[in-house]
Chain A
Amino acid sequence: MIKINQISKNYETVKALKNVSFTVDENELFGLIGSDGAGKTTLFRILTTLLLSNEGSATLNNINVKNDYKKVREIIGYMPGKFSLYQDLSVEENLNFFASVFNTTIEENYDLIADIYKQIEPFKTRIAGKLSGGMKQKLALSCALIHKPKILILDEPTTGVDAVSRMEFWQMLKRLQTKGITILVSTPYMDEAEMCDRVALIQNGEILSIDTPKGITNSFPYKLHAISADNKYQLIKDLRNHDNARTVFPFGNSVHFTTANNNLNEEELYNYLMTNNHTNISIIETTPNIEDCFMELMKPSRG
């Protein structure tokens, strides 16, 4: 269990974290979503005892990260942002080294890493620097797990990894969760939020919202329409110029659109787009996904 209580952190004049508080329950898969520079890494470094907060406190399994940092270091598995492996050591040597750092052996906790490590085992004599992004990620995860940590903290593990490997990776986290590990993971990809039990959205060092993915999508207060036409770029421009437009975000092949009075007259909009020479126009009401909600939350408040 991770308890974060009113944590603030300043780098000289920049406030990296402002009064951050939340709790990750025992055995939960908790996601921290935010763009680059939102403060995710700073928060993780405070939790992994690598940085001290200016204000506030945090405990991991009721152990204080500041006063009992040595005990915290025993129970956490940490995977920093870059896959911090020794590029000139082979897969096996990396794993052996990290095992010995934690006074254990690969064999001892093999069952925990087995289904991850099996995928990279055929390349165990290969130098880590020559692995693909997905394989590096798996090796880094194996290294972070080698000592059977109670809490796993992963800083953007899926950044720079292809879509298939990302999916696989989340499946692995789900399986690890069944083994009783509490997992806190950060990502800049909003679509990954749906894989978590609960997510927190962080922006400019502030937590904007904490909820289950479902709770977040249910709380979306506006009617949402997916609009598409042949010229997407022009479509976005014209929608933004529409009198009733509130938000216009491109999403996949269509554009997600909300209105200021929350009441879209489809026929009027269709005609508006026709007069602006759009072809193949389609306007469908759709349910908001997590990305829509985050875009909504991250909108700078007006006034």
Chain B
Amino acid sequence: MKRFLSFVKKEFHHIFRDTRSLIIIFGIPIAEILIFGFAINTDLKDARIAILDYSKDATTQRLTNKILSSDYFILDRYLESENEIEEIFKQGEIKEVIIFEQNFGKKFEKEGKATIQLILDASEPNTANMLNGYTHSIINDFVQKENNLNQHNISIIPTVRMYYNPDLKSVFMFVPGTMAIILLLISALMTSITITREKELGTMEILLGSPLKPMQIILGKVTPYLILSLGNVATILGLAYFVFGLPIEGSLILLIAESTLFILLSLSLGILISTVSKTMQQAMLISMIGLMMPSMLLSGFIFPVENMPDILYYISFIMPPRWFIDIVKAIMIKGSGFDLIWKETFILIGMTMFFIALSVKKFKIRLE
């Protein structure tokens, strides 16, 4: 145990005395979250919308006011007919058109049910999704308040049409994806580099020639990265929650447990990479091109997996981040419990055990 602790201490010395490591571990996660976050935020502020009001009554006026009084929308113009929609979307200024059906107010009060149509410019799918989401929640809020006021049980049914990209399914949520990529970066990339560094410097020769067991060497090397990665999970969630107001609907403990599982998986991948590479450069190349790139492209982080060609779709099955992103989305956004994500969890556990077994088998007790 003392051996192990002094190993961990030594490893922390390596990390904290190397500016580049520090930047990667502490700078990149924060920068990435902020960049992704604010890039999306600016899109959402002051989106220009048009309103086509066939009803022109007090209710539609109240709802319009409510929508416009939010920070998100600016009224560009009122439309007179649906024929204009095509034209204004082509101009590209207006991102959303809201259409109130005829006799909206009357139906709302008498039948307790009215229809509102939202048409969105989905050429920027993320923006469209977010705008759609915001409009929905404003409408829901409006309905709820009306109900409370009148003791009625009425509803507004929004129907949504996505222009230009009608199949749009993915909800671009940058936090789960960023989390997966950052954990991979720190756990897999940094671990593989730090282990190969010992090989390159020749210190591995001394460690191997000492009575240390391979398992002790590995655990000593990866434990600091496990701790730092958990710190990063906290940072990312903190930023997402406090800076961007992203809610965590599900259990925080479950989320942290699943993150730990994913970190272990990434660490075992890092160890595996280090066992097959002789130099730091080699380890870096394998991690970046063999692991990070496919993870970014095939995990659903950037491109939705549902839209991929069959081959890539099936390849995405073996991408660990794909499952992790699903899990994080489910917990954070849908508030799912373990009963809904056990399948993904077991896939990750299976992968972790596979990679650990493989790296233990591949780890050499000698130099070749």
A73 contact set on B, CB distance < 8 A: 209-211
Instruction: Output the least CB separation between A39 and chain B (Å).
Output: 15
- Say yes or no: A50 contacts B201, CB within 8 Å: no
Asked if A88 meets B13 with Cβ closer than 8 Å, knowing A50-B366, A50-B367, A102-B210, the reply is yes
Of all chain A residues, the one with the shortest Cβ separation from B2 is A100
Asked if A50 meets B208 with Cβ closer than 8 Å, knowing A87-B201, A103-B3, the reply is yes
- Say yes or no: A69 contacts B3, CB within 8 Å: no
Of all chain A residues, the one with the shortest Cβ separation from B220 is A101
A81 to B207, CA, bound (A): 14
- Say yes or no: B6 contacts A50, CB within 8 Å: no
A127 to B202, CA, bound (A): 17
- Say yes or no: B212 contacts A84, CB within 8 Å: no
A86 at the interface (CB under 8 A from B): yes
A69 contact set on B, CB distance < 8 A: 365-366
- Say yes or no: B205 contacts A86, CB within 8 Å: no
Residue among B10, B18, B367, B368 facing the most chain A CB atoms (10 A cut-off): B10
- Say yes or no: A85 contacts B203, CB within 8 Å: yes
**Interface size range on A against B:** 20 to 34
A102 contact set on B, CB distance < 8 A: 210-211
Q: Tell me the chain B residues, 194-241 only, with Cβ under 8 Å from chain A.
A: 201-203, 205-212
**Interface size range on B against A:** 20 to 34
A70 to B365, CA, bound (A): 10
Instruction: Output the least CB separation between A175 and chain B (Å).
Output: 23
Q: Tell me the chain A residues, 61-96 only, with Cβ under 8 Å from chain B.
A: 69-70, 73-74, 76, 78, 80-82, 84-89, 93, 96
Residue among B6, B7, B14, B203 facing the most chain A CB atoms (10 A cut-off): B203
A84 contact set on B, CB distance < 8 A: 201-203, 205-206
Of all chain B residues, the one with the shortest Cβ separation from A50 is B367
- Say yes or no: B367 contacts A81, CB within 8 Å: no
A89 contact set on B, CB distance < 8 A: 10, 13-14
- Say yes or no: B209 contacts A48, CB within 8 Å: yes
Of all chain A residues, the one with the shortest Cβ separation from B10 is A97
A87 to B365, CA, bound (A): 24
- Say yes or no: B202 contacts A82, CB within 8 Å: yes
B209 contact set on A, CB distance < 8 A: 48-50, 73, 76, 78
- Say yes or no: A45 contacts B367, CB within 8 Å: yes
Instruction: Output the least CB separation between B214 and chain A (Å).
Output: 11
B17 at the interface (CB under 8 A from A): yes
B210 contact set on A, CB distance < 8 A: 73, 98, 101-102
Of all chain B residues, the one with the shortest Cβ separation from A96 is B6
A51 at the interface (CB under 8 A from B): yes
A103 contact set on B, CB distance < 8 A: 2-3, 211
Q: Tell me the chain A residues, 36-52 only, with Cβ under 8 Å from chain B.
A: 45, 48-52
Instruction: Output the least CB separation between A136 and chain B (Å).
Output: 12
Binary flags per residue of A10-45, CB closer than 8 Å to B gives 1, else 0: 000000000000000000000000000000000001
A50 to B10, CA, bound (A): 23
Q: Tell me the chain B residues, 4-28 only, with Cβ under 8 Å from chain A.
A: 6-7, 10, 13-14, 17-18
Instruction: Output the least CB separation between A143 and chain B (Å).
Output: 8
A69 to B213, CA, bound (A): 12
B365 contact set on A, CB distance < 8 A: 69
Q: Tell me the chain B residues, 162-217 only, with Cβ under 8 Å from chain A.
A: 201-203, 205-212
Of all chain A residues, the one with the shortest Cβ separation from B6 is A100
Asked if A93 meets B367 with Cβ closer than 8 Å, knowing A50-B209, A82-B202, the reply is no
B205 contact set on A, CB distance < 8 A: 45, 48, 50, 78, 80, 84
Residue among B7, B18, B209, B210 facing the most chain A CB atoms (10 A cut-off): B209
Asked if A74 meets B13 with Cβ closer than 8 Å, knowing A50-B205, A81-B202, A86-B203, the reply is no
A100 contact set on B, CB distance < 8 A: 2-3, 6-7
A81 to B209, CA, bound (A): 14
A89 to B9, CA, bound (A): 11
Asked if A88 meets B202 with Cβ closer than 8 Å, knowing A45-B367, A93-B10, A102-B210, the reply is no
Instruction: Output the least CB separation between B366 and chain A (Å).
Output: 5
Instruction: Output the least CB separation between B75 and chain A (Å).
Output: 60
A81 to B203, CA, bound (A): 11
A102 to B216, CA, bound (A): 12
Which 7 residue pairs spanning A and B have beta carbons closest together? A84-B202, A100-B6, A80-B205, A50-B367, A88-B17, A78-B209, A84-B203
- 6 A-B contacts (beta carbon < 8 Å): A45-B367, A73-B211, A88-B18, A96-B6, A97-B6, A103-B3
